[in-house]
Amino acid sequence: MILSVQDLTITRGGIPVLEGLNFALEPGRALVLRGPNGVGKTTLLRTVAGLQPPLEGRVDCPPETIAYAAHSDGLKAMLSVTENLRFWADVFGQKDISAAISAFDLEALADRMAGTLSAGQKRRLGLARLLVTGRPIWVLDEPTVSLDTASVQMFAEAVRAHLKGGGSALIATHIDLGLEEADVFDVGPFRAKPRAAQAGAFDEGFL
Ligand SMILES: Nc1ncnc2c1ncn2[C@@H]1O[C@H](COP(=O)(O)OP(=O)(O)OP(=O)(O)O)[C@@H](O)[C@H]1O
């Protein structure tokens, strides 16, 4: 499944933030989004994931092919690690959670309630969820926040395995993931020129 973005202009709070974006992401490829704080990377990922419409242009890719991991982990605090993964596997119609547990070294934590995990352990569990979605296109917003060096490598290995299996990944990050095979797209030059705010901003619900 190819993700294609054409002549995209995106808004936040009704104000255009990035414009004239064009890129494609093919199976087996990773694309790292770079750009300074506040430039619009999160807004771009939300638009690609179908959570908000673009102001102009289009995203060609069925939203049901995308697994989106936002800043927040979205874990169920009162469920165990295993129960969290089973829950998400059920949502996505998948059966096997063992690969997700081993890819993110969660065996020793399998019976712990998610709410009792450390920040980095929660992040590992949040990322392990990607593996139980069965979805080919991963759209990831700052996936390595709270991760130590070994866990960043673990994450990079999981992405690499996903690419080898024909998946793809669009990742906004400020750090070096050690994914030499990834392409890099600096969105900084695509800052939108000032325009009047659009009426009826729709994204306040995401605050
Ligand atoms: N509800 C809102 N109303 C108005 N402006 C907003 C709203 N939410 C975010 N913004 C602004 O939209 C711009 C784009 O934000 P976004 O989160 O997409 O940036 P980012 O590139 O992901 O930043 P970072 O690297 O800090 O995560 C920022 O300047 C931000 O202040």
- Tell me the pLDDT tens digit for each residue of 95-142: 999 999 999 999 999 999 999 999 999 999 999 999 999 999 999 999
Does the beta carbon of 205 sit less than 6 angstroms from any atom of ligand 1?
no
What are 8-41's pLDDT values in tens digits? Answer: 999 998 899 999 999 999 999 999 999 999 999 9
Its pTM surpasses 0.90: yes
Tell the burial category of 159 from Cβ atoms under 10 Å away from its Cβ (0-12, 13-18, 19+).
Answer: buried
Give the per-residue pLDDT at 205: 53
Number of domains making up the chain: 1
Q: What is the mean pLDDT of residues 151-158?
A: 97
Confidence of residue 186 (pLDDT cuts 50, 70, 90): very high
Tokens of 131: 């593996």
**Nearest protein Cα to ligand 1, atom 25:** 37
Confidence of residue 63 (pLDDT cuts 50, 70, 90): confident
> Taking all residues of the chain, what is their mean pLDDT, rounded to a whole number?
93
Does the beta carbon of 37 sit less than 6 angstroms from any atom of ligand 1?
yes
Cβ atoms of 52 and 202 within 8 Å: the answer is yes
- Using CA atoms, how far apart are residues 29 and 53, in angstroms rounded to an integer? 25
Does the pLDDT value for residue 204 go beyond 70? no
Does the beta carbon of 188 sit less than 6 angstroms from any atom of ligand 1?
no
ipTM over 0.90: yes
Domain that holds residue 155: 3-206
Q: What is the CATH number of the domain that holds 130?
A: 3.40.50.300
- In Å, the largest CA–CA distance within the chain is 54
